Structure 1
């Protein structure tokens, strides 16, 4: 009887233990919520993301997409070259993102401009894929 109770307590304690996360997210949920509500400036958001990245790198548990999100934050601050570097870092860490990251690097470097959502039209069946539009020189947009 005592063994059964001890076994039950041990199993119960094991069931309550939280498994270790595969990635380190830090306070990302709170930061993302504050950013979505407009409670953080672009600079504050970028600094918060960099702090999360630094902690995640220290544990070798950087989540997918975090480097790219920091790249977007840098792009919002007008730091195109650094944004492209962070998109490249995302591509290196997560090779399955290469096509998307290559496109973002090209956008960050001004090689192509993203089409506004309102300008995107679904292609007609059998139509050839649309090519990227070259970006206008700075000051001509």
Structure 2
């Protein structure tokens, strides 16, 4: 919302879409929503095409998709290690998804004319405080 209030145009790539679409309706036509996952090359390309076709360019990529499910890596009461499913999903979304969006957006951002300072755009990656929670 603040991005639009400051003159920005926003494309949201959201895995479910419902909440993002509700938010977009309240903000207005400067927000477009595409449903998809950051781990999907096709979904990310679709969102970037929306940005290019609707707004003419991409100046900023904000990576804020994330997945975390706290679980112990080893359960000493049951003498059993954790499964790999949560870890694999976490790596896929948080690491591969972030890299996927960066690599696909970089070319579009790179086509922008440089600003007076020589910048063509910016990529912002976020992290979560879940890293500080006890896992063992």
Q: Relative contact order: is structure 1 or structure 2 higher (C-alpha 8 Å, sep ≥ 6)?
A: 2
| Structure with the higher strand share, 1 or 2 | 2
TM-score (norm 2): 0.28
The TM-score, its normalising length taken from structure 1, stands at: 0.28
Give the structure with the larger helix fraction.
Answer: 1
If you compute each CA radius of gyration, which structure gives the higher value, 1 or 2? 1
